[in-house]
Chains A and B, each alone.
Chain A
Amino acid sequence: MKFWYTKLRANPHLTSSGKPYVYIPLVDVDLFTSDRNKSSLKYRVLIDSGADKCLFHGAIGEMLGLDVRSGKKSPMRGIMSKQGDVFYHNVIISLYGQEVESVVGFSYDLDIAFGLLGQVGFFDSFRVCFDLPRRDFDVTPKFAN
């Protein structure tokens, strides 16, 4: 599956190119809880090879019907401006029909605009090839449904 990078507004003083925009590899994923009886929703997320795990905003977990704070709790630093808490739950992530069940961290302390698809829960099920000069990237499931 080929996807386009997303061009987003940026402060030119903060971009490496000095231009007022950046290109970011974003995709829409459909999220479900494992029992599929609760809500599903479409969430725009960043494919982030530097993230250990998948991490979504706590409000997204609430909308899926999860009791977010009842999940296994863990402290997390690195992508937050201060130390925050992450709560883990099983979620089904569907990328254009290719589904994987993943353990996803939900946090109310997430300081970035997107959810993150990281190594465990995404890169272990999908092969990704980025091509920034062409402004596209390929995502291939390792195990077809």
Chain B
Amino acid sequence: MTGIDLTKLFTRKHFGKWVAIVDNKKIVGVGKHPKGALSQAIKKGYKNPSLMIAAGNYANIYP
């Protein structure tokens, strides 16, 4: 293994939104607020997903 690859996980519909992810493989919640992403995940049975913001470009992450 040479790192965690999230390049194919996020699609255009996720960009700019909070996502709840598990095992670096699956998006189990999406929302404009992390609370929305987490509640979707919990409804699907995932109690402790990782929260982050999905983007189409992570280069130059500082403005």
Residues of A within 8 A of B (CB): 4-11, 14-15, 20-24, 26, 28, 41-44, 46, 57, 59-60, 62-63, 78-81, 111-114, 135-136
Contact = CB atoms under 8 A, between A and B. Distances in A.
A8 B53 contact: no
Contacts of B53: 57, 113-114
Interface of B: 1-7, 10, 18, 21, 24, 33-35, 38, 48-63
Given A10-B57, A10-B58, A114-B53, A63 B4 contact: no
B5 to A, nearest CB: 5
A21 B61 contact: no
A9 B51 contact: no
A22 B5 CA distance: 10
B50 A8 contact: no
B58 A24 contact: yes
A139 to B, nearest CB: 15
B7 A7 contact: yes
Contacts of A9: 6-7, 10, 55-58
Contacts of B58: 8-10, 22, 24, 113
